[in-house]
Structure 1
Amino acid sequence: MTDKPKDTPGDSGTAAAGRGVGSPYDSPTGQFPRVGMSKDVPRTEEELGLDPDVPTVGEKTAPYSYASIPAAAAPGGPSSALRRRAAENRRGTLDFGLFVLRLVVGATFLYHGLQKLTGWFHGPGFDGTRDMMTGGGWDHATLSAVLLTTGEVLGGALLVLGLATPLAAGSVLAVILNAWLWKQGMIPGFQYSAAVKSGVEMDSILLGASAAIILTGPGRWSLDRARGWAIRPAWGSFVVLLVAVAVAILTFWFLHGGNPLTGIGPFD
């Protein structure tokens, strides 16, 4: 009876398979038993454990709520609007120019108003102003003098400050339009040259400047800078202009009377 040869470690597996022993590094997967591989390979989203609501690559859907990085703003979005608004707010020297215009016009009316009210700057004073109104054919000379001096002093001061600018510019516009109508009615024909007593050249310039301030607003160099109409006046400013013109015409009609446009074109 012969002895059965002893098996050495690692020989039984290879002998049964009929092949020599190999290194586990030659084919690692072939050296270990396949545990749990009897089940079919998962093929559906449920079997793989995926969320079916998560968009796949290439789907154009809105960013889901748990995304960590917000979506980029589309061209022309809020950032572009802010840049356009900032560019529109660059007014350059516009506000300074409006300040200079207000200062010159307001100071001119304030100067003449103080002449008529207090007699400063070699002016006639209130009594002299009332006598001037009487000699110029104004009825109710005292009331006319009060309206004239108040419009020039108060309106001029408010224009310089840029406070209640539409009211201030409207008041000086009404005053200067009355002066324009009064001078124009002294002599038939259009009296524009400043070389004559009835010339309305200076009055026309102040009239146009007052209207321009109403329509443009006082700008940011003013006490009205927080008001919307200070830098972006709209149709309301045009209404103020029309009201000021209407008040001037009605005041002239009731306190002076007559047609100041006599001798001009169709008003001959």
Structure 2
Amino acid sequence: MSAQSPVTEFTERFRPHVLSLFRIVVGLLFACHGASSLFGVLGGAMGKGLTVPAGSWPGWYAAVIQLVGGVLVMVGLGTRSAAFISSGSMAYAYFSAHAGTALWPLQNGGELSALFCWAFLLLVFTGPGVWSLDRLFFGARRPAEAGAGTPREPSAV
């Protein structure tokens, strides 16, 4: 058995809580983009106070995914599924709207799409964390989730 450093003990102890905060912030920011495009709030579509016409492809559908997916991820309900769909929509946005103009996201204006895509993909694999409606309604589904945040002993082979 190896002793852990104080920094490792601290980060392991708070990992589930920080993961929940990460999920909440990412979901909130994503939902704000959807609300902006659908309702013209927070500056509206493209910062011009406009809304995306209902049913228009792909803008309106993307905005609905952003609003609904963002809210679901933010509250932690159906987190993995909502994050998977949200990640896919951002990958589509990146490759359809940005990647054709330049190689790097910094050059083609796709940083936000790329960051949201990878953040949601991370949430697909990590799950919602401890502060979520998924956990409240369904509890920890696997033994690994029940002990989240506590260091585990390496298994004997």
Compute the TM-score of the two structures, normalised by the length of structure 2.
Answer: 0.71
Kept after mapping to 1: 8 A contact 2:80/2:127: yes
Cα distance in structure 2, aligned partners of 1:109 and 1:146: 14
1:183 corresponds in structure 2 to 98
Unaligned regions of 5+ residues in structure 2, if any? 1-11, 146-157
> Is the CA contact (8 Å cut-off) linking 1:126 and 1:145 kept in structure 2?
no
| Structure 1 equivalent of residue 73 of structure 2 | 159
Alpha-carbon distance, 1:200 to partner: 2.1
The runs of 5 or more residues in structure 1 that have no matched partner are: 1-90, 132-140, 233-268
Residue by residue over 1:11-54, the C-alpha shift from the partner in whole angstroms, topping out at 9 and shown as x without a partner, is xxxxxxxxxxxxxxxxxxxxxxxxxxxxxxxxxxxxxxxxxxxx
In the alignment, is the contact (CA less than 8 A) between 2:30 and 2:67 conserved in 1?
A: yes
The equivalent position to 1:107 in structure 2, one of 8, 24, 28, is: 28
After the TM superposition, which residues 161-240 of structure 1 pair with which residues of structure 2 at under 5 Å, given as runs?
161-181=75-95, 182-185=97-100, 187=101, 189-193=102-106, 196=107, 198-225=108-135, 226-228=139-141, 232=145
Matched, 1:129 2:52: yes
Q: Match of 1:70?
A: none
CA contact (8 A) 2:40 2:50 kept: no
Distance 1:100 1:145, change over 3 A: same
Name the amino acid aligned to 1:191.
W
- State the Cα deviation string for residues 217-260 of structure 1 (Å, max 9, x = none): 1112111111526x64xxxxxxxxxxxxxxxxxxxxxxxxxxxx
The alpha-carbon deviation at position 128 of structure 1 amounts to 4.1
Residues 1-268 of structure 1: pairs in structure 2 closer than 5 A:
92-124=13-45, 128-130=51-53, 142-181=56-95, 182-185=97-100, 187=101, 189-193=102-106, 196=107, 198-225=108-135, 226-228=139-141, 232=145
Instruction: Determine the C-alpha separation between the residues in 1 that align with 2:50 and 2:103.
Output: 31
- Quick one: distance in 2 between partners of 1:109 and 1:179? 14
Q: Which amino acid aligns with 1:220?
A: V
Secondary structure of 2:52's partner?
Answer: helix
More helix by share: 2
> Does the aligned pair in 2 maintain the 1:117–1:126 contact within 8 Å?
no
Q: Is the 8 A contact 2:84 2:120 kept in 1?
A: yes
**Pairwise CA distance, 1:146:** 3.3
> Scaled by the length of structure 1, what TM-score is found?
0.43
Distance 1:94 1:123 in 2: 35
What is the CA-CA distance between 1:127 and the residue it aligns to? Answer: 6.8
Identity of aligned residues (%): 26
Map Cα deviations across residues 138-165 of structure 1 (whole Å, 9 max, x no partner): xxx7242332111100000011100010
**Any idea what the Cα deviations from partners look like across 1:148-207, whole Å, max 9, x if unmatched?**
11110000001110001012101211221122112112x1x40321xx5x2222322221
Q: Which has the higher contact order (CA 8 A, sep 6+)?
A: 2
Deviations 1:66-95 (A, max 9, x none): xxxxxxxxxxxxxxxxxxxxxxxxx62121
